[in-house]
Amino acid sequence: MRKPFVAGNWKMNKTIAEARSLVSEMTPILGGITEVEKVLCPPFMAIFPVGALLQGTDIGLGAQNMYWEAKGAFTGEVAPGMVAEFCMYIIVGHSERRTYFSETDETVNKKTAAALSAKLIPIVCVGETLGEYESGRTAEVVSRQIRVGLKDLDPEFAAQCVVAYEPVWAIGTGRASTSENANAVIRDFIRKPLSEMYGEQTGQSVRVLYGGSVTAANAAEFFGQPEIDGALVGGASLKVDEFVAIVQAAAKRA
């Protein structure tokens, strides 16, 4: 049985004061929804103050990016062990990082392995662009992102990865995938290659999320699909009512 999982990716939004205010409003309600694993991923500067407010709750904290080296002369980067001091989760390979910061399947693989070594739970993002979708290349792109991005992981820990299927054309566009399409992509191009790489049990036990224009209005439809265990939420995670309603919808899946 896979526990439902909902993470809010705040992206580059919220000052420390704004982050504190958002979290103070959310925690009393979210804390009561115990059926769902809930994670907030604020920008780096807000990690410590948000973490302080989450202490004593069952709401997890995640970062949005990190480097794979343990330490050294890498100006501007943050090491896995530094993230792990405050966080349990780390988003890896988000499409905005791939697009604006030249991340590749190979760097995603290094980060995923480094995250697991640091005892972080990686939330690995995959998904095709609009051009790839329209030219019928979804299968090829998503299965390659899984096969390369998650290759050669310690088999004992591979099942701890969380994967987020985020079609790039659905992110921030208001044009979500259909739930049937997302379910089929997850079944055929995420779970299937994972099963081939790490065994059927791992392929079936990894939590896989959908992301891309998830709202309170459409969340239940995604969570009604057998292969979709939750959501990685962008814009709607910045609004208390929306995010709470999405987590409540996920609880009904439990």
Chain positions contacting ligand 13P, by CB under 6 A: 9, 94, 166, 171-172, 211-214, 232-236
Closest CB to ligand 13P: residue number: 234
| Minimum CB distance to ligand 13P, residue 29 (Å) | 20
Q: How far is the CB of 208 from ligand 13P (least distance, A)?
A: 14
Contacts of 109 (CB under 8 A, 6+ apart): 148, 149, 150, 151, 152
* Separation between Cα atoms, residue 121 and residue 175, nearest integer Å: 29
| Minimal distance, residue 172 CB to ligand 13P, in Å | 4
Give per-residue burial for 34-46: e unless 16+ CB within 10 Å, then b: eebbbbbbbbeeb
Residue among 95 and 248 whose Cβ is closer to ligand 13P:
95
Contact 190, 164 (CB under 8 A): no
**Per-residue burial over 54-89, b = 16 or more CB atoms within 10 Å of its CB, e = otherwise:** beebebbbbbbbbbbeeeeeeeeeebbebbbebbeb
Provide Rg for the chain, Cα atoms: 17
> Would you say how long the chain is, in residues?
254
- Residue with Cβ nearer ligand 13P (34 or 99): 99
Q: Which of 188, 187, 189, 170 is nearest to 178 (CA)?
A: 170
202 vs 213, beta carbon nearer ligand 13P: 213
Nearer to ligand 13P, 79 or 214 (CB): 214
Of the two residues 94 and 207, which places its CB atom closer to ligand 13P in the complex? Answer: 94
Asked if 254 contacts 35 with a C-beta cutoff of 8 angstroms, the reply is yes
* Residue 166 among the catalytic residues: yes
Of 96, 128, 166, 242, the active-site residue reads 166
Least CB distance to ligand 13P at residue 1 (A) = 25
* Active-site hit among 94, 128, 227, 242: 94
Backbone angles phi, psi at 227, to 5 degrees: -90, -10
| In the complex, least distance from residue 152 CB atom to ligand 13P, rounded to whole angstroms | 25
Please give the Cα distance from 105 to 123 (Å, whole number): 14
Please state, in angstroms and rounded to a whole number, the distance separating the CA atoms of residues 222 and 247.
12
Q: Which residues are catalytic?
A: 94, 166
